[in-house]
Copies of this chain bind each other. A is one copy, B any other.
Amino acid sequence: MTGWRVGLDIGGTKIHGVLVGPDGGVRAEHRAATVVGPEGIVRGAVDAVLALRGEVPDDGAPGADRLDAVGIGVPGVVDPATGSVRYAMNLGLDAEPFALAEAVSARLDGVRVVLENDLNATAVGATVLLDGVGDDLAYLALGTGVAVGLVLDGHLRRGRFGLAGEVGHLPVDPEGLECPCGQRGCLELYASGSGLARQFPHTGPEPIAAVVFAAADAGDSLAVGVRDRLLDGVAEMTQILVLSLDVGSVVLGGGIARLGESLLAGVRSRLERREGSSEFLAASGLASRVRLAPTNVPVGAVGAALILEGGER
C-alpha cells in the first residue's frame, strides 16, 4: 500500500479523519460532528473523504484518482469481508447489517473502502504510533466497558466468532458484583467506567475515573478501595494477556487511560509486586510491557488508513 489513503474513525459524537501519504505520514486531519443514522453516517464519511482528498498534492490526475483507498473504523459488529456493520448503536445502526463501505464507495467514484471495527483499527494504529511497540500488542480499551484489540505478529486477530479480547468477562470474584452478562465478579465490573460509576456514585461532568482518583488521593476510603480494585483488575488483565498470548506490549487506552501516569504507575507497581514474589513472572517482564496509548494523536483514524482486507497491514 503505497498511495494516498484516508482513514476515518467514526464515533458516536465525532468523525475523525486523516490523510496518510505514500510514506505513511499523516499529511492532514479533519474533524466533524457525527450525525447518527445511516444517511448521516454515509454523508459524514463522504464529506470527510472529500475534504481530505482535496489536500492531496495535484499531480495532474483527476481528483477521483488521487486517492488509493479509504479505511473506516466504526464501533459495532463489523464484517470486513462485506464491509457491513451491525449493532453500532452509537451511530444509530441496528441489528440489520448496513453495507457502509459500499454506500461510501458509491458516492466516491468507486474508490476502494475497507471497513473495520474501531478498536481493531486503533490497535493497528498503535503499532505505528507508539515508539518501540512493533507489530505485536494488545490494545486494552478501558472505557464504559472493557475491550481488547489484538495485533499478533503483525496480523489483526479477530477471533473465530468476534469474541477475541473479551477478557473483561473473566470472573475474578465468585462473591463479587453481579455482571449484566450473568456472571459474578467479572473484571469489567472493576476496571471500566461503568464499573467505577456503580461502585462510586457521583453526579457531575468530570470523568468518573478522575473523580475516583482525586477522592482516593484526598483519603476517601471508599474511593481508595474502588481505585485499588481498578488497578488490580488492569494488572490482572495484563497478566492474562501476557500469559495466554505473550503479546509484546499491553497498551492502555480508552477514557480511563486519560488518567495517564497515575494509572500506569499504579498498574506497574502491582505487576512489579507480583514479579517480586515470582521469578517466573519476573522473567516474563510483565510490568515493562505495559504502555499508555498516545493522546492527542488520532490512533483510530491512522489505524483505519493502514488496514487492508484480511486484517493485514
Residues of B within 8 A of A245 (CB): 157, 159, 164, 244-245
A160 touches B240 (CB 8 A): no
Residues of B within 8 A of A170 (CB): 239-240, 243-244
Shortest Cβ distance from A64 into chain B, in angstroms? 35
Contacts of A155 in B (CB 8 A): 153, 155
Q: Are B161 and A153 in contact (CB-based, < 8 A)?
A: no
Asked if A166 is at the interface (CB within 8 A of a chain B CB), the reply is: yes
Give CA–CA (A157, B245) in the complex, Å: 8
Residue A61 is within 8 A (CB to CB) of chain B in the complex: no
**Which residues of chain B have C-beta atoms less than 8 A from A247's C-beta?**
159-160
User: Which A81-136 residues have C-beta < 8 A from chain B?
Assistant: 136
Chain A contributes a number of interface residues (CB within 8 A of B) equal to 39
CA A23 to CA B241, docked complex, whole Å: 38
**What's the minimum C-beta distance from A68 to chain B, rounded to whole angstroms?**
26
Q: Footprint of B on A, CB under 8 Å?
A: 136, 148, 152-153, 155, 157-167, 169-170, 181-183, 239-248, 274, 277-281, 284-285
Task: Give me 18 A-to-B residue pairs in the complex whose CB atoms sit less than 8 angstroms apart, sorted by A's number.
Answer: A136-B160, A157-B245, A159-B246, A160-B246, A163-B242, A163-B284, A166-B243, A166-B246, A166-B284, A167-B243, A169-B280, A170-B239, A170-B243, A181-B278, A181-B281, A182-B279, A244-B244, A245-B245
Q: Determine if B169 and A243 form an interchain contact, defined as CB atoms under 8 angstroms apart.
A: yes
Query: Please, which residues of chain B bring their CB within 8 A of the CB of A242?
Result: 163
CB distance from A32 to the nearest CB of B (A): 34
Q: Pick the 8 closest A-B CB pairs, nearest first.
A: A159-B246, A182-B278, A181-B280, A164-B246, A163-B246, A160-B248, A166-B243, A244-B244
CA distance A155 to B170 in the complex (A): 26
B280–A167 CB distance below 8 A: no
- Residue in chain B with minimal CB distance to A168: B243
Give the residue name and chain of the B residue nearest to A150 (CB).
Answer: B245
* Complexed CA–CA distance, A243 and B188 (Å): 13
Query: Known contacts A278-B181, A281-B183: does B167 contact A244 (CB below 8 Å)?
Result: yes
Q: How far is the CA of A152 from the CA of B157 in the complex (A)?
A: 8
Contact B246 A281 (CB under 8 A): no
Distance in angstroms between the alpha carbons of A166 and B248 in the assembled complex: 15
Closest to A187 in B: B243
CA distance A165 to B244 in the complex (A): 4
A163 touches B278 (CB 8 A): no
CA distance A242 to B162 in the complex (A): 11
**Nearest chain B CB to A58 CB, angstrom units:** 41
Residues of B within 8 A of A162 (CB): 246
- Considering only CB atoms, which chain B residue lies closest to A181 in the complex? B280
Residues of B within 8 A of A169 (CB): 243, 280-281
Query: Which of B159, B181, B243 lies in contact with A163, CB distance below 8 A?
Result: B243
Given A153-B155, A153-B157, A170-B239, the answer on whether A244 and B164 have CB atoms closer than 8 Å is yes
Interface centre among A152, A160, A169 (most CB of B within 10 A): A160
Q: How far is the CA of A245 from the CA of B163 in the complex (A)?
A: 7
